[in-house]
Amino acid sequence: LCCVHHTPNWLFRSGFVGIIEYFAAMIIPMPAMGPMGGPPTPYALARRPWVQCILVLQSLCCLARMVVFLDIMGAFLMAIMIAVGFCAIREDFNVQLLCYWGLMCLINGSFDLVKLIDVLVKSHMPLFSSKFSQEYNIANAIALSIPVTTLLGVPLAWWIYRDWAAGGEADQLPGPGMRVSQGEAPNETSSLLGGRGSAQFTAFEGQGRRLGSG
């Protein structure tokens, strides 16, 4: 009863999305990102199959992590991350949930990668070898695929967030350096170089022709 009394009232009204955002803010304290409402951009909708593909790969790795390595805690944390990603797709590709998913991918993937590097450094056995059994190579392949599939969600979530922050006006993505179209950059450069742009020169030319004809 005490927990229910101190729980915000909006948590009961906002449904599953509000619960995810509330507990994500409790687990990962960070500055408020602000509401990210509105329909998804065309770029985000075009990258929806890629997000689904990464989530499926993460789900397979999570299942293998629990069955092969019996890593219950790691699989549980990874399952929470996957649930946030699928919830973002279910909620009309919610950008805020995608940002939470990308942040959790960064944290979980970094820990899993450091854990894998630590094991490889301390071990005198190679990661893959034909001298060892097939089970050994398969287990190491699963151990390598866990951080790889987890970290794949980080750049994808980042590009979707950058596209949302730009108002969906980016012409070429992925890549943060390709957000300005080729037709816009010369105009901005010419306007910054001194105020004698092509538009001003054309206007001056037109006035000269009118004075000569008179």
Q: What is the pLDDT of residues 103-139, one digit of tens each?
A: 999 999 999 999 999 988 988 888 888 888 888 889 9
Distance between CA atoms of 56 and 54, rounded to whole angstroms? 5
Q: Which of the two residues, 24 and 158, has the higher pLDDT score?
A: 158
- pLDDT score at 87: 93
Residue 152 above 90 pLDDT? yes
Rounded to 5 degrees, what angle do the CA atoms 39, 181, 171 make? 30
- pLDDT score at 110: 95
Q: Is the pTM of this model over 0.85?
A: no
**Residue 74 near residue 109, CB atoms below 8 Å:** no
- pLDDT score at 125: 86
Distance between CA atoms of 188 and 87, rounded to whole angstroms? 40
- Dump the DSSP string for 112-124: HHHHHHHHHHH-S
Residue type, 29: P
Helix-strand-coil split of the chain, %, nearest 5: 70, 0, 30
Residue 147: exposure state from Cβ atoms within 10 A (0-12, 13-18, ≥19):
buried
- pLDDT score at 36: 59
- pLDDT score at 185: 39
Distance set, CA 16 to CA 1, 10, 12 (Å): 21, 11, 9
